[in-house]
Amino acid sequence: MPDRWSDVDEGELDAHMLVSTGHLPADTDVQALLEEGHARYRSLGDGVVADYIPALACASPEWFGAAIVGTRGGVFQVGDARHEFSIQSVSKPFVFALVVDSLGADEARRRLGVNSTGLPFNSVMAIELGDDRTINPMVNAGAIATTSLVPGDTADDKWRFVLRGLSRFAGRALAIDDEVYASEMSSNRRNQGIAHLLDSYDRMYFDPDAATDVYTRQCSVRVSATDLAVMGATLADGGVNPVTGERVVAASTCRRVLAVLATAGLYEHSGDWLYDVGLPGKSGVSGGIVTIAPGKGAVGTFSPPLDVAGNSVRGQRLTRFLSDRLGLNLFASQPEHERG
């Protein structure tokens, strides 16, 4: 990082940090609203199932599931909430969190960058345009660089660290989808090219081919909408998994990760998303979206048809509905004299 705020002692600030408060509404209301939102958008026919990774093209456009997990450990589910799919880009915030936790927030920012690009998720131009050739960990270039920084001397060590870390976020032992992994490995020359371009600028911190391989495995990990909600709820709960009670990352890591999600979680529609939903979220090309309401909980959705930016159509609509109706939008307020 350049000299921005370099005189500020971040450790000192962190030690005195207060957080905003509030909880989800009553359990019965949360379940009822989840079901109402699911019924409302179930028959929405817009969007196209991704096919640039051949194995993803087999997904049914009908699949639609969602879950909410609160920081008090409540789990609410509807539709295909337990249907498993490859996590794809929704892995990015969680691997970034593991790296921030092991490197420190400042070092992670210096080596990876944290600003939005305004360009597509697999942009090469974003690398060329950036001053110091860093991007941010939510687009492919920054995500592959992030994976290259995962602790471990070998690709296998790094992969084990990633799988163990994602499993701790989910509160269960996750596994790779071998078919999706093989399919993406046969069609990911662009990601390999991105890794080599970063390497030419000394912004790749491990062998570029091996890092791309581990990144592709990470994207092929099988999860459900319920897993995404538990993983997101861990980021909403200061780094403690509210279902297992295990601390996965530090609270200071969570708020850095959520800040990056707010600017870049939904590709080039991140601004529209924040405008509509008012929460940090991350989408993936197989149709998953995780959305985090700090201190309250998280929403996980799954529905394969995507819009032009690669974000699940039904998932975005349902999450917006839930953000409004559960009172999650971070930017919403009401005049003091009108409050009950």
Q: Which residues bind ligand GLU (CB under 6 A)?
A: 88-89, 121-122, 140, 184, 191, 219, 284-285, 310
Rounded to a whole number of angstroms, the minimum distance from the CB of residue 219 to ligand GLU is: 3
Which two structure tokens, joined as six digits, stand for 44? 């929405």
Beta-bridge partner residues of 48: 306
* Spatial separation of the C-alpha atoms in residues 23 and 43, rounded to whole Å: 31
**Residue number, 182 or 250, with CB nearest to ligand GLU:** 182
Rounded to a whole number of angstroms, the minimum distance from the CB of residue 262 to ligand GLU is: 17
DSSP-derived secondary structure letter, 118: S
Rounded to a whole number of angstroms, the minimum distance from the CB of residue 120 to ligand GLU is: 10
**Residue number, 78 or 138, with CB nearest to ligand GLU:** 138
Rounded to a whole number of angstroms, the minimum distance from the CB of residue 318 to ligand GLU is: 19
Exposed / middle / buried, residue 5 (Cβ in 10 Å: 0-12, 13-18, 19+): exposed
* Spatial separation of the C-alpha atoms in residues 133 and 143, rounded to whole Å: 13
Rounded to a whole number of angstroms, the minimum distance from the CB of residue 204 to ligand GLU is: 15
Tell me the one-letter amino acid at 214. V
Which two structure tokens, joined as six digits, stand for 259? 């800040």
Q: Give the CA radius of gyration of the chain.
A: 19
Rounded to a whole number of angstroms, the minimum distance from the CB of residue 299 to ligand GLU is: 18
**Residue number, 134 or 191, with CB nearest to ligand GLU:** 191
**Residue number, 50 or 100, with CB nearest to ligand GLU:** 50
* Spatial separation of the C-alpha atoms in residues 203 and 200, rounded to whole Å: 7
**Residue number, 32 or 185, with CB nearest to ligand GLU:** 185
**Residue number, 177 or 184, with CB nearest to ligand GLU:** 184
**Residue number, 33 or 289, with CB nearest to ligand GLU:** 289
Q: How far is CA 282 from CA 26, 67, 134, 236, in A?
A: 26, 15, 20, 14
Exposed / middle / buried, residue 271 (Cβ in 10 Å: 0-12, 13-18, 19+): middle
**Residue number, 75 or 285, with CB nearest to ligand GLU:** 285
Rounded to a whole number of angstroms, the minimum distance from the CB of residue 314 to ligand GLU is: 16
Rounded to a whole number of angstroms, the minimum distance from the CB of residue 313 to ligand GLU is: 15
DSSP-derived secondary structure letter, 176: B
Rounded to a whole number of angstroms, the minimum distance from the CB of residue 328 to ligand GLU is: 24
Handedness of CA 301, 306, 120, 198 (dihedral sign): positive
* Spatial separation of the C-alpha atoms in residues 261 and 285, rounded to whole Å: 16
Which two structure tokens, joined as six digits, stand for 166? 């994602």
* Spatial separation of the C-alpha atoms in residues 237 and 297, rounded to whole Å: 7
Exposed / middle / buried, residue 167 (Cβ in 10 Å: 0-12, 13-18, 19+): middle
| Residue owning tokens 């924040």 | 274
**Residue number, 142 or 239, with CB nearest to ligand GLU:** 142
